[in-house]
């Protein structure tokens, strides 16, 4: 094959990004930047409890239970075994909301509890009852990415990279002017590093027709940071949802651990680059949760039949985020993410949409 492997692809791609010595001059101190990441359908129970021991031992969901038990259940801290960056770094240096076992609530406010409505809510600051399908087509709503791409200092400085091929519709690439690299797009390589990522994509298993493997998305995201230096980067990983739909809990856990590692590599790349270090906020969330009750409920989501799949989570850290902050009220919601992103950039969210959910009170 190409000499690349699943075991070293993340480190190799991160090395490409970190090895870049050349770049634009250091930005002004008030030039804030944002990286917004979503992990599709990763449930709050995995984030705050770690692997489910019973599910991890069930051969209906796991091909090699002993291996999964050793890696994700036997360690004394199951949470750190699964999401060491979210738990060990982001939660300590910033905020991690949605642990319902400890009275922290985060949820979607849309009425559908699946992906397109969830991403629309995250990116526009309000749910849209007209969006009732993942096949909705080009989004009529203006996302925060599109709005930023029209603002002075941000125009041409917004990028989106995603595993799911619907994001060119969700962001409405044609209208917004925001470049979207998603799905199995075979785009011309602009750099030698992108050519390597494209080569890896060609050799990657095509597990789903509409969702590429997350390692490819991660490679393009790192190269976007290095080559484009965007002020705003949106990244969406997808495997945590698709493996769950297939009932592969072992692969779902692997995907969660892998994307947590991708988050760590993104943060390392940001801290290694003077353009981003000390002025970038990282926000991480998800578009929906997973069903509760019944042995197989975790494979599914959606309000029609899968109670509890509105429960989600939110994480953030950056120069203006107050570590350990907890917003007031009974529950925070995904419609607050867009305004929170704008607040992190030092912008007035009301100029974007005064009817959007208000920013989360997590800042210094």
Q: Quick check: 206 and 184 in contact, CB under 8 A? A: yes
Question: Tens digits of per-residue pLDDT, 239-268?
Answer: 999 999 999 999 999 999 999 999 999 999
Q: What is the largest CA-CA distance in the chain?
A: 56
Angle (CA) 315 316 320, round 5°: 155
Task: Report the alpha-carbon distance of residue 38 to residue 286 in Å, rounded.
Answer: 5
Q: Does residue 316 register a pLDDT over 50?
A: yes
Question: Tens digits of per-residue pLDDT, 221-234?
Answer: 999 999 999 999 99
Q: Does residue 29 register a pLDDT over 90?
A: no
Domain ranges of the chain: 30-352
Q: Which band of pLDDT confidence, cut at 50, 70 and 90, is reported for residue 12?
A: very low
Helices first, then strands: H and E counts in the chain: 17, 9
Question: Tens digits of per-residue pLDDT, 317-341?
Answer: 999 999 999 999 999 999 999 999 9
Q: What is the pLDDT of residue 134?
A: 98
For residue 221, give Cα distances in angstroms to 18, 46, 311, 330: 13, 25, 27, 35
Q: What is the pLDDT of residue 267?
A: 99
Q: Does residue 14 register a pLDDT over 80?
A: no
271-294: average pLDDT: 98
What's the half-sphere exposure (Cβ side, CA atoms, 13 Å) at 1?
Answer: 12
Q: Which of 117, 46, 56 is nearest to 304 (CA)?
A: 117
Q: What is the pLDDT of residue 11?
A: 53
Q: What is the pLDDT of residue 126?
A: 98
Q: Does residue 17 register a pLDDT over 50?
A: no
Task: Report the alpha-carbon distance of residue 82 to residue 78 in Å, rounded.
Answer: 6
Query: Could you tell me what percent of the chain has a pLDDT over 70?
Result: 92
Does the predicted model carry a pTM greater than 0.85? Answer: yes
Q: Which band of pLDDT confidence, cut at 50, 70 and 90, is reported for residue 18?
A: very low
CATH of 30-352, one of 3.40.190.10, 3.40.50.11740, 3.40.720.10, 3.30.420.40: 3.40.720.10
Q: What is the pLDDT of residue 30?
A: 64
Q: What is the pLDDT of residue 265?
A: 99
Q: Which band of pLDDT confidence, cut at 50, 70 and 90, is reported for residue 63?
A: very high
Q: What is the pLDDT of residue 22?
A: 37
Q: What is the pLDDT of residue 25?
A: 42
Q: Does residue 5 register a pLDDT over 50?
A: no
Q: What is the pLDDT of residue 23?
A: 39
Task: Report the alpha-carbon distance of residue 329 to residue 110 in Å, rounded.
Answer: 19
């Amino acid at each position: 094959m190409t000499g690349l492997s699943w075991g070293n692809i993340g480190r190799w791609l991160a090395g490409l990004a970190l090895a870049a010595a050349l770049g634009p001059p250091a930005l002004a101190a008030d030039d804030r930047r944002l990286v917004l990441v979503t992990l599709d359908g990763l449930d709050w129970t995995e984030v705050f409890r770690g692997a489910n021991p019973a599910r991890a031992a069930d051969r209906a969901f796991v091909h090699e239970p002993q291996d999964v038990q050793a890696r994700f259940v036997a360690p004394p801290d199951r949470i750190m075994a699964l999401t060491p960056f979210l738990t060990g770094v982001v939660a300590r240096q910033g905020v991690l909301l949605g642990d319902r076992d400890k009275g922290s609530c985060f949820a979607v406010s849309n009425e559908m509890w699946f992906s397109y409505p969830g991403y629309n809510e995250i990116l526009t600051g309000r749910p849209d009852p007209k969006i009732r399908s993942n096949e909705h087509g080009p989004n009529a709503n203006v996302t925060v990415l599109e709005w930023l791409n029209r603002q002075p200092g941000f125009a041409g400085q917004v990028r989106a990279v995603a595993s799911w091929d619907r994001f060119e519709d969700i962001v409405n690439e044609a209208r917004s002017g925001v470049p979207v690299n998603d799905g199995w797009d075979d785009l011309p390589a602009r750099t030698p590093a992108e050519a390597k990522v494209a080569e890896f994509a060609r050799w990657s298993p095509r597990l789903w027709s509409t969702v590429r493997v997350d390692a490819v998305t991660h490679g393009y995201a790192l190269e976007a940071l290095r080559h484009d230096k965007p002020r705003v980067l949106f990244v969406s990983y997808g495997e945590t949802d698709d493996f769950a739909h297939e009932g592969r809990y072992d692969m779902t856990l692997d995907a969660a651990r892998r994307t947590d590692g991708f988050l760590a590599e993104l943060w390392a790349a940001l801290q290694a680059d003077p353009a981003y270090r000390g002025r970038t906020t990282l926000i991480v969330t998800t578009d929906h949760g997973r069903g509760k009750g019944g042995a197989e409920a975790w494979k599914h989501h959606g309000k029609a039949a899968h109670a509890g799949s509105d429960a989600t989570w939110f994480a953030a850290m950056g120069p203006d985020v107050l570590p350990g902050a907890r917003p007031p009220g009974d529950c925070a919601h995904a419609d607050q993410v867009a305004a929170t992103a704008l607040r992190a950039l030092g912008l007035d969210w009301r100029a974007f949409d005064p009817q959007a959910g208000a920013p989360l009170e997590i800042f210094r």
